[in-house]
């Protein structure tokens, strides 16, 4: 069974120590609060700067995963220099 806490003014709750010790969460970090069925779920989030948000899009992550699989299968070529790579690609 989980821990119980009391809802205080402004609907604030304190996350119990035994719960805090099980997840990496520090004071000042942000959490996401959602409703799932009839439950309130609080989960830590990692904020990403806007300039890096493209990397976390579904499309980009799909390509990264595909690239990783290609590398594992040996479908990748390593170049010793930019000059060598440009020569290989005919640039």
Residue range 11-38, pLDDT digits in tens: 999 999 999 899 888 999 999 999 999 9
Chain segment 53-70, per-residue pLDDT in tens: 999 999 999 999 999 999
The three-class DSSP label of residue 42 is strand
Which domain, by its residues, includes 64? 50-88
- For residue 1, being part of any structural domain is answered with no
How many angstroms from the chain centroid is the CA of residue 75? 27
Task: Please indicate, yes or no, whether residues 14 and 35 belong to a single structural domain of this protein.
Answer: yes
Residues contacting residue 45 through CB under 8 Å, at least 6 positions apart: 30, 31, 32
Q: Are residues 59 and 36 in the same domain?
A: no
pLDDT at residue 2 tops 90: no
CA distance 55 to 48: 10
**Torsion (CA) 10, 46, 20, 36 in degrees, nearest 10:** 60
Report the predicted TM-score, pTM, of the whole model to 2 decimal places: 0.52
> How many domains is the chain built from?
2
Do residue 39 and residue 63 come from a single domain?
no
Q: Is residue 4 part of a domain?
A: no
């Amino acid at each position: 069974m989980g821990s119980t806490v009391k809802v205080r003014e402004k609907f604030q709750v304190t996350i119990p120590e035994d719960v805090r010790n099980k997840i990496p969460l520090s004071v000042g970090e942000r959490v996401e609060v959602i409703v799932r069925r009839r439950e309130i779920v609080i989960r830590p989030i990692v904020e990403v700067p806007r300039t890096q948000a493209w990397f976390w899009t579904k499309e980009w992550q799909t390509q990264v995963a595909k690239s990783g699989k290609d590398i594992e299968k040996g479908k990748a070529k390593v170049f010793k220099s930019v000059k060598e790579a440009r020569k290989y690609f005919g640039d």
